[in-house]
Amino acid sequence: MKSDSSVWHPNTQMSEWTKFPEIVSAKGMWLYDSKGGKMLDGVASMWCNVWGHSKSELVSEIIKQTKILQHTALFNLTHSSAENLSKKLINLNPKMHSTFFSDNGSTAMEIALKIALQYWRNIGENKKTNIATLENGYHGDTFGAMSVGYVPEFFSKFRSKLFSTLKFPVPRGFRIPKKMTVNEYQEQCVAKIEEKLEKDDSIAAFVMESGAQMAGGVIIYPKNFQNQISKICKKNNVLFVLDEIATGFGRLGSMIEYKKQNSTPDIVSFGKMLTGGYQTFAATLTTKKITESFLGEFSDMKHLFHGHTYTGNPTAAALSLKNLEMYEKFDLINKIQKTSKIFESRVGDIYNLDLVGDIRHKGMVMGIELVHDKKSNKPISFSQSINKVVFEEGRKNQIYFRTLGNIIMLVPPLAISQKDLNFLIDGTIKTIKSLSKKLS
Ligand SMILES: Cc1ncc(COP(=O)(O)O)c(C=O)c1O
């Protein structure tokens, strides 16, 4: 490693970095570094920040709860933070019945998978052991999550140790097969799923991100796609498992995205924005039918074989409850819908840039796909990683970027003001223009 620090950074070629900017504090939308510089948090600190940094109500809640009860296990015990948060989550998801808490999105998805697989064993349907999913999805970095959310660029090194899944293409408007309209492509994608689920009675669950694939490059599902899969699952006795970790709680413009999509999951996971982006926490919710299948005599061994040290941590749970209450108090979803229009109104400005091949936007996320030139649509490339180049150029314009391959992700804190959002978009435009000079 070139850096003199012993910290190994996530998804990072460490040899590219001699020093990482050191963030010493953050307030509102801004991250402040040790050299007196500042950057607007263009990725909501990995898509989780809701209100901006150092929001006093949330900080106070952490302090308040920390003074009373910092951590106690949920093994044999309970506490009001977990109880009240679960009630709130069920309130937001009235078709759900129980909440299993965990530490991060990946574990929330591992739990969803284990619950789905064990459900069929609990009710004696031992044949149902396969998982169906969409190509290009992402559900986290642990082995189960990698198996269902296989992004080849990320996970090919581990492929031999991943369990196999049935993968179906996802409809998108960019780079679709030649001589097909987007609608025809969507119909073909849905037909493939329907055909397989009708024939194959070994499928335990269909797992997908709700509303859009985020890490797969902001692939926003066309209208009715999720709803059609939901119906196909119900018709064919396959559990429908949704991942709202990155897309729920307002990121795509609605509090609960699956409701907007007119779809009904049997199991759904939330994370990221759950704590407002201040602590690590996640939740997996299940319907009554699923929860009750785990009941029986102890000797039946039907209970869920899963638990983490910090499952249901009181500080994170109290913080999450406070955060969700603030969504209502400040009518955040309404505000997001208004702010999102700024994104929409600026699409043309960004699309006009030479290096922009495609833009995908919904709610408070925008994916800007960089290409070498508009004619060939070849992905952009530099001698260094695209992320490093974009990050450094962005820093000059006071924006913190973290790209996904050749896609610039604009994922600001949800409560960003219209003025700050325009600052982010102006800085993005300046950054993309400056990239032209760096092309190899
Ligand atoms: C849709 C989705 N699911 C799961 C995860 C994993 O969450 P975590 O990074 O908290 O483990 C992510 C992370 O980006 C995600 O986008």
Ligand 1 centroid, distance to 425 Cα (angstroms) = 25
For range 399-403, the mean pLDDT: 98
Ligand 1 atom 16 nearest Cα: 246
Ligand 1 atom 2 nearest Cα: 139
Q: For a pLDDT cut of 90, what percent of the chain falls above it?
A: 90
Which domains, ranges and CATH numbers included, belong to the chain?
59-329 (3.40.640.10), 331-438 (3.90.1150.10)
Ligand 1 centroid, distance to 353 Cα (angstroms) = 31
Q: How far apart are CA 274 and CA 47, in angstroms?
A: 11
For range 377-404, the mean pLDDT: 94
Write phi, then psi, for 288 (nearest 5 degrees). Answer: -60, -45
Tell me the pLDDT of the chain averaged across its residues. 96
Closest CA to 315 of 270, 279, 283, 271: 279
From the CB of residue 386, how many other CB atoms can be counted at a distance below 10 Å? 19
Place of tokens 């032209």: 436
Q: How far apart are CA 111 and CA 308, in angstroms?
A: 11
Give the burial class of 41: count Cβ atoms within 10 A of its Cβ; 0-12 exposed, 13-18 middle, 19 or more buried.
buried
Strand partners, 285: 99, 268
pLDDT over threshold 90, residue 210: yes
Ligand 1 atom 10 nearest Cα: 105
Write phi, then psi, for 364 (nearest 5 degrees). Answer: -110, 35
Ligand 1 centroid, distance to 49 Cα (angstroms) = 14
Ligand 1 centroid, distance to 136 Cα (angstroms) = 14
Ligand 1 atom 7 nearest Cα: 105
Q: How far apart are CA 184 and CA 176, in angstroms?
A: 10
Write phi, then psi, for 141 (nearest 5 degrees). Answer: -110, 0
From the CB of residue 95, how many other CB atoms can be counted at a distance below 10 Å? 14
Ligand 1 centroid, distance to 299 Cα (angstroms) = 35
Q: Do residues 363 and 340 touch, judged by C-beta distance below 8 A?
A: yes
Lowest model confidence (mean pLDDT) among 327-341, 371-385, 386-400? 371-385
Ligand 1 centroid, distance to 338 Cα (angstroms) = 26
Ligand 1 centroid, distance to 105 Cα (angstroms) = 5
Q: How far apart are CA 229 and CA 295, in angstroms?
A: 29
Lowest model confidence (mean pLDDT) among 14-28, 145-159, 224-238? 145-159
State which ligand 1 atom lies nearest to the alpha carbon of 244: 1
Ligand 1 atom 8 nearest Cα: 105
For range 110-124, the mean pLDDT: 98
The Cα-based distances of 440 to 115, 171, 383 in angstroms read 49, 32, 7
Which residues, judged by CB distance below 6 Å to any ligand atom, belong to the binding site of ligand 1? 104-106, 109, 138-140, 209, 214-215, 243, 245-246, 271
Q: In what order do the strands lie in the sheet with 130-134?
A: 98-102, 282-286, 267-270, 239-243, 203-209, 130-134, 166-168
